[in-house]
Structure formats: structure tokens, C-alpha cells
Chains A and B, each alone.
Chain A
Amino acid sequence: MNKRGRDTGDGLFRRAEELIEVALQLPRGMSDQEVEGLLHLLPRDTSRSMRALLSSRFREVSLDFIAMIGGWIREARRAREEGRKVVLVPFNFPPEIIYLFRNAVPLTSEVLTTLGVSMLEGQGERYWDYAMGLGIPDFLCSSSTIELGSVLTGRDFEPDIIVQSAPGACDANSKIHEFVSLHMGIPQVILEKPTDSGPRGKELHRRYFLGFIRRLEEMIGEELKEERMREVLEEANRAAELYYELYDLRKFSPCPVPNIFSLFTYGARFTRWGRPEGTRMMQSLVDHSKRRLETGEYPAPEEVARCMWLYIGYYFDFLGFFNWMEERGITYLNDILSLCQPRFVDTSSRESMLEGLAESCFEYPMTRQMGASSMSLAWIEDMCGFIRDLRADCAIYSGHHACKQTWSIINQVRQEILKRTGVPVLCLQGDSWIRRMTPTSVLQEEIESFVENVVRRRRRRIGSSA
């Protein structure tokens, strides 16, 4: 139901909500036969995503994930009914900041887009098309424009406040959020990231952050309480501990962490961090991976490639992407989002907590790299570090077409990574949320050919010289 009281049901949020409500009814311990029967009842696009999620290899963890996302959606609905504020945040903003307020809940644009693209028949295309119809250029980022396109229809769940935290880090993201705010008359509150990674930039950002919090307090109508802050941030710290445990598990070969867990990790980070639901999700990811490590379970005869995704993945076909790679022994080690490296916040005082949160914002994935003084430097250094630490033997850049920052420096990044680590980089090209641009089959062909012709040969060469 939007603020104007209509409940038309054809917006992304509402349609996804209906499907999630059904998914929440799925029982635990389903057999493969039962899953197969269920998949036949679903529309084609929904069925394909559910087939990926309900793979017998990690079915119960996927149900945990569905439960977490379902709870997040329900909470937003309930908050609206109870008169609490629904705050639309972008992916590069820690949601635990909104959880510090009793009277507000976060909804993350990019997570809603991913949810819509993966769950809805026709994916998110109708909302994208609506935005294009308004005149929004087709080179904008689908990650936010699909969800915001749905908001722009005026027939969907409308947030009460829009948070913007990409000025300085991403023009496309900042402008579409600003546009929706102006077009729909939804107030926005902005947190700028100075493109200065030095002490002056950090200090300016800290001051911006404190002003941003004051503004949020005014808009939500609630002053932050130290006790509540501590409760939320201690929970976030617990989730961070589990995050690093999962990170360490990825160092084993063959990798015991299923490919799709990268998505689940940032699904938790971007929606439920600071809440017990997020911690439980991380616990579930760790437990499952540990079990796989103990049993030596791996979905392919051998791990043929340990692949670092330098940027993001593709989200319009989980089955043809995460599961497909895993079944061929291609490990999706991490990407820039799952490498969010959450900070442990010092909860000793209100000030220390605010300082910690400011730092979390400053070091958030993509903000940290593309919003730095140099767009390439931090990205190169981070990725080289992770490649070495996780013993990756290849890297892939997904080449999401809207990401002009990374496109403008990928050649430098590719060369530096090769030079510093010896790891070859494949550059793909496509839209991560829209299948029209580069279909799965083309991506698969390119990945397969890269692994066969470059990675395997390199492994053989290194093996023989050793």
C-alpha cells in the first residue's frame, strides 16, 4: 500500500511480497521429488530462481535466506501500518544505522531489485521500461532503477524517506535517487563521501556523518538512545565475527562455501545487519560451510578454478550463474560486495559508536574503492590482497554496463592485477540485472572458454614448473 492509500498490487514490492509470503510457507526437509513438483507449479522465471535456491546442496540454508528476506519485507509492511518510517537506502549504506531507531526500518533499493528480478515472472523489466518511458536514459544502473522505476509508477509501496549515500562514489546511483525524491516528493537525506581518502577527507566525512544523523533524527522524529545503539551494534559485531569465519573458510580448496553464499552474505549485510535475523543467517552460512569442509563435499569432481569476481556478479539467472559454475568446479570466491569487510564498532560510548559507523560508511564496498581519491588504486590493492589471501587463480570483471567508473579504469586494474599477482583477468560485458543485454548462454561460453584455455593451462604450467 502506498502512502496515498492505494494498494494496487502491481508494483515490485507488492508482487515480490506475495511470492515471499508463499515461499515462507515452504516446509523444511522437502525431498527432491517434492521440490520438483513445486517447481512445476511456478511461473517459468520464478521456477528457475527457486530451482537454484532449492538445490539439494544448500536447500535448508536457502530457506533460512528466504525467511530472513521475508521477515525484512514483512517488517517494512508492518512498520507502515504502525506509522513507523520506512527508509529507502542504497546498497552502499549500512542498514544498521536505520535499526538504531525504534521508529524506522530500512529497505534497500538494490536488494529489492534483485528480489524482483529473481522472483517475478518477467523479472524487473516492466519497471525498467516504465523508467525509460519517463525519459530516464538506458545507460543508468538497473540495480536501483528497476526498484525505483516501480516507485515511480506511483502504484507501489512508497518509502517515507530516501537516503542517498553515493554522491562522490557513483553518479548514476545518486542521480536516480535524487530524481525519485524530486519526482515523488519524498524527502531525501544525503551523506556525501568526499573523494579524498586522506585524513582531511575522513574528517570532513565524519562531520557530514554527524550532520546526517542529526537530520535523520529530525526526520524520523526520534533521538538516538545509547542503549539501543549498543544493542544493535553488538549484534552487528557478532555478525561481523561470523563474516570473517566464513571468509576464512573460503581459503580451503576445494572451497567448502557454495557460490551462492556470496549473494546470501551481502543479502544479510544489506538488509539485516544489526538484527538477530542477520546474525542467524551468517551462522547458517558458516555452519553449512563447515559441514561441507568436514565431509569433503564438493559438487564437481575437482575444483578447476578459484575465481575472484572483481566487481559484482549477475543476478538474473542464479541457476545459470552461481549453480552452473559450481557444478563445473568453478568457485566464485567473492566479489566486491561480499568483500564488505564489516568493521567492529567500539560500543563503549555513543561517540565511539558514531565514530565506528562513520568509518563503516567510509569503508563500505564500492564507496571505499570507487569513492576514493583514486578510483583504481584502492580497488587494485584490495583485490590483489584478496587474490593472494584466498589463493585465487583467476579473476573476472562482470562489466555491468552502467558502471562508468569501473569501466573507465578496468584496463589499468586488469594490467596491475596481472602484473602484481600473475592472475589473468577476464572482462565480460552485460547488465547484471537485465537479461536482454547479454544472455546467460553467452556469459557461460565466455567463462568456460576462459577457464579451459587460460586458467587450466596456467594451472598445468604452474604444476609442471613446481
Chain B
Amino acid sequence: MDEVLSTARELIPSRLREWKESGGHVVGFTCVATPRELFDAAGILPYRVRALGKPERDRADAHLSRFNCGFCRACLQLALEGAYDFLDGLVETNGCDHLRGMFENWQEAVNPGFFHYLKVPHLVTEESLEFFAEELELLRESLSNHFQVEIGDAALSEAVKSANSRRERMRRLFSLRERENPALTGQEALAVLLLESSLPPAAFDDLLENLLQEAEGREIGGYRARLLLAGSATDEPDLVREVEDLGGLVVTDALCYGTRAFWKLPEVEGEPVHALAEAYLRHLLCPRMFDDYPSRLQFILQAAERARVDGAVLVYNKFCDLHGVENVRLRLDLEERGIPVLVLEKEYGSTADLGRIRTRIQAFLERIGGRGGFRKHASSAGLGNL
């Protein structure tokens, strides 16, 4: 697990470097509405753009502004510094206003080579599903033309099968995290997901197999409370570690870089492009979708119940309109059902903000301590620093 944690902190893990060195293509994307199967079928590695808590954004701020989300500013900063030069292209999605601004500036300031805008509807209707299926066809065509690869239905169906199987194994792994004696920490779980979207598929599949075997006999103990962590673009395993260092074990999540990326995606069956459109749009558990709040609430409630959490931390980056507003409603709905909630607004990647975050987490754990009690679990592989 230590290796997983350290590899997840690297923007370019060694297996990705090897992929590039052997002539493999890598295309960046940010939004979970982007079906990785299309890339897998083309033999292209889809890489989920991340900033890993990078605090600097001086260069990005010459393009974006201080009223934009720190995550997007940090990603752009990395692009402007050349850290993303290894990407052979970029797929934009209209995830939110900040992301759109980030992509427009990225495209303008750094030539990403291949650039494609995948337009994702905000509603699920017959019309929008049809439109999204066409969008996926256009992406397939665009990838195929630029990279000179055939992406036939057979290859796509094969990629769909592999992705189905991978997601099934990931659900198994993550279930082990939610059990009475959790097998992995929240920090580790987030690290695994970061690797899922940065490693070549075969490398990740091997890692997943090993992790499943390792996790079976593993138990985390010594924590004060079981927490659910939900919210906006959080690709910072170190932030989760901060929470866990204080005694709040993140046993489940509803994060954009977390379980929301795969948990609800059904087995994709049938004609591949339409099936992918249906699966990805219908299960896009993001507050950018409208008329769909009940599904998102349900997803969180189910996770909270499965993982028997003592409380929920709803986190969002400063200036995130989508999660900032959504969290108000979620707090009211969760509290009404007896789940204590901490809404945590944070400045992305800011170490200066850590003291305040720690204080708030500590106070929250104190508050719910009386309810959940101080849990002492027999541990065979505890969190050393808890």
C-alpha cells in the first residue's frame, strides 16, 4: 500500500512513463462523464488531469482569476509550467464554468496537440441521450482521425467488457473499505482511484488484483469515527490523510475523484456507443446535472448506510458554485436523517488553510464523539499515526 500512496503522488508514474517511451499516446480529460472505453478501444491511455494539491498558481492567474476554483487554477499552472507536456491531447467537457475557463485558457496558451470538446448535457431526456450518443460518436471519430487508429465496434465492445470487469473488482475492493473492520483508509482508496486514471489498463489491473488479495486480510483500527467524505474535485490524498490523522477514518466517499467516478456505472451492454451514452449520462452523479438531486442524495445515503458512518464531511473548493450550493441542501437532508454533517469550504491545495481545516475537523470529531463513541478496533495493520 505504501507504493500505491507514493505512486499516486506522482504526476507521471513510472508505468505511464514506460507507456510513453514505448510510443503510447496519452490524452487528458477531467470529467467522469468521459467514457474511458473509447480511449481504451483506441489503445490510447486516458489520463485524468489532476493537480495533487499544488499550491502555486501565479502563472495560471495571469489567465484565470482569483475568483476561479483553485483546482482549475492549479491544473492550468501545471500545464503552463510544462508538467503536462507528456499529454498528446486534451478532451474538454463542460463540467462547470471554472473547468470551461480552464480549458479555454489551456488551449489558448499551450497547444495541446489534439483537442476535442465533448459536450455533456445537463439533463437526462430522450433528446439529450441521443445528443450525447452523437457526441461520443464525434469523439470516436476525432480520436480515430487524429491518432490514425481504427476504433471499431468490436474493439469498443471488448474495451467495454474490460471496463465492466475492472469496475466490478473496484467495487469489491471498495466494499472492503466499508465493512465493519475496514481494509483500507480513505487516503489509500483515493490513491487507488488516482492510479486507475493514470496507469495503463494492464498495469492497473495487475495492481488491483494484488490489492484485492492484500486487502482481504487487512484491518484498519484505532480511529475515532467513521466518516463519509463527499464533495467537489478532491484529488488530494494528503487532505484525506489530514482528516484521518485526526481520527476520522474515511470509510466511504462521494467524491468526484472517488466513488462517484465508477460506483453506480452499470454493466454496459448492447450497441456500445449508445450503451455508453446511456450509462454515463444517466449515472453522472454530479451537481452539474439538473432535476437529479434525489439520485445524488440517495447515493450518499446508501453509502452512509452501507459504511455505517458516524458523520459526513461535505467538502468544496472555494468558488465552486455547484457543490457550494448543493452542500447546503445535502446538509439539511442528512441532518434530518440523523447524520451529523460538517460543511468544509477550503482553498484548494493551500497549506495556509490546513490549520483551520484541522481545527474544524477536530471540533466535528468532538461533536460526534459522543454519538459514535471512540472506536477501538482490533487491528492487524492499523494506521500508524492514529
Q: Which residues of chain A have a CB within 8 Å of any CB of chain B?
A: 134-137, 139-140, 164, 167-168, 170-172, 174-176, 178-179, 182-183, 188, 190, 192, 194-196, 200-201, 204, 207-208, 211, 370, 373-376, 401-405, 407-412
Contacts and interface: CB of A to CB of B under 8 A. Distances in A.
Interface string B277-301: 0000000000110110100000000
A182 B329 contact: yes
B122 A137 contact: no
Contacts of A373: 117, 119
Interface of B: 62-65, 67-69, 72, 94, 96-98, 100-102, 104-105, 108, 117, 119, 121-123, 125, 127-128, 131, 134, 287-288, 290-291, 293, 316, 318-319, 321-322, 324-329, 331-332, 343, 345
B127 A179 contact: no
A282 B131 CA distance: 40
19 contacts: A136-B324, A137-B324, A171-B96, A174-B290, A175-B287, A178-B290, A179-B328, A183-B329, A190-B123, A190-B291, A204-B128, A373-B119, A375-B104, A402-B67, A404-B98, A404-B319, A405-B101, A409-B104, A409-B105
Nearest to B122: A167
A451 to B, nearest CB: 24
Given A136-B325, A178-B293, A408-B104, A201 B119 contact: yes
B101 A409 contact: yes
**Residue from the set A136, A139, A200 with the largest chain B CB neighbour count within 10 Å:** A139
Given A208-B125, A404-B69, A408-B102, 6 more contacts: A175-B325, A192-B290, A195-B100, A204-B131, A375-B100, A408-B64
A315 B318 CA distance: 26
Contacts of B290: 164, 167, 174, 178, 190, 192
Nearest to A164: B290
Contacts of A375: 97, 100-101, 104
Contacts of B293: 178, 182
Nearest to B101: A408
A192 B328 contact: no
A135 B105 contact: no
B63 A134 contact: no
A412 B104 contact: yes
A179 B325 contact: yes
Contact of A411 (B62, B119, B322, B343): B62
A134 B328 contact: yes
A24 B167 CA distance: 66
A208 B127 contact: yes
A411 B63 contact: yes
B131 to A, nearest CB: 5
Given A182-B293, A404-B97, A408-B97, A192 B122 contact: yes
